[in-house]
Amino acid sequence: NAGVTQTPKFQVLKTGQSMTLQCAQDMNHEYMSWYRQDPGMGLRLIHYSVGAGITDQGEVPNGYNVSRSTTEDFPLRLLSAAPSQTSVYFCASSRLGDGDNEQFFGPGTRLTVL
């Protein structure tokens, strides 16, 4: 199993540009989520999904869109990048509903918005 994979590893954008961060998992997990990690702020939930076709907002959703057309993939779209979106982004996945919802994280995408 590859686990949770994320691409790209690094990205530099200019203000106003759009891009998509990719996330995929091969563990057949129902739950997938996106976090951003900033110094002193810890991990903050952006969006999450409990299954294909179902998404919901987390703590800091503004400026980001998600979709979940398959169980495996959960891309995060930045609509119009702003310097405040400079951060490290992590995707995570887990099972749901059977008592074992161990979270598995991807390696992260380090994004800089100029």
Q: Which residue has the tokens 């702003």?
A: 82
- Among the residue ranges 16-24, 49-57, 62-70, 72-80, the one whose residues contact other proteins (CB under 8 A): 49-57
CB 49, min distance to other proteins, A: 10
**Interaction pattern, residues 23-42, with other proteins; x per rule: CB under 8 A:** --------x-x------x-x
Residue 19 touching other proteins (CB under 8 A): no
Q: Rounded CA gap, 50 and 64, in Å?
A: 18
- Alpha-carbon distance of 34 to 66, in angstroms, equals 9
Q: Are 62 and 82 in contact (CB under 8 A)?
A: no
Of the candidates 91, 48, 97, 92, the residue with the CA atom closest to the CA atom of residue 68: 48
Residues of this chain that bind other proteins (CB under 8 A): 31, 33, 40, 42-43, 45, 48, 50, 56-58, 90, 92, 94, 96-97, 99-108, 110
